[in-house]
Amino acid sequence: MNQKITFGIALFGLFLGVLIAIVFGVNESFFKDRIQKGLQKNIKIQAMADPIKKQAKLTKEASKNWRYYQRFHFHSTGIGAMSLGILILLLYIAAPTSAKVVSAYAISLGGFFYPFIWLFAAIYGPEMGRHQAKECFAVFGYMGGVFLLGILLTMVLLFKYELKLPKHESMINDK
């Protein structure tokens, strides 16, 4: 199994999650201004007649869409870290290579692509509407299921096959 590819995918997802956090820190207003501009183009919100309800809706939607950018960061970094841990575990399971490859790719690809539903919902949600944006990019949401199946397959392999951990002197002798 070429572990470099699956590890690289997981690391790249982790990298993107950290990168967007750095960009938040450097220029958070870029994202918030983009959200406001998108909300000004949202036909349903702009059609609201009551200015108080309209302002309340704009405030709520701005907050929710900002949260979607944050969710991309949280999911990218969290799932990226989880993926790396699970991929390392797979190295030590004495299971058939084909099963380990399927699990590794499900974990790395599912884990990498899932957070993008939040990024694309954040980018397109202000103008399209949050629900419509998530529906439009639902394929990325389904990748969370692929990630989950990879975890499930890893669990099956873990319980079905021997776990061959390296033997370290410090682990053998209790001192």
Q: What is the pLDDT of residues 83-118, one digit of tens each?
A: 999 999 999 999 999 999 999 999 999 999 999 999
Q: Is the pLDDT of residue 175 over 70?
A: no
pLDDT reported for residue 107: 98
Q: Among residues 80, 104, 93, 92, which one has the least CA distance to residue 2?
A: 104
Q: Is the pLDDT of residue 171 over 70?
A: no
pLDDT reported for residue 174: 52
Confidence of residue 170 (pLDDT cuts 50, 70, 90): low
Confidence of residue 154 (pLDDT cuts 50, 70, 90): very high
Q: Is the pLDDT of residue 48 over 90?
A: no
Residue 175: CB partners within 8 Å, gap ≥ 6? none
CA distance 141 to 92: 30
Confidence of residue 1 (pLDDT cuts 50, 70, 90): low
Residue 110: CB partners within 8 Å, gap ≥ 6? 143, 144, 145, 146, 147, 148, 149, 150
Confidence of residue 47 (pLDDT cuts 50, 70, 90): confident
Q: State the pTM of this model.
A: 0.88
CA distance 101 to 16: 24
Please report the domains of the chain, with CATH numbers, ordered by start residue.
3-161 (1.20.120)
Question: Which whole number is the average pLDDT over 57-61?
Answer: 91
Written as six digits, the tokens of 138 are 């639902």
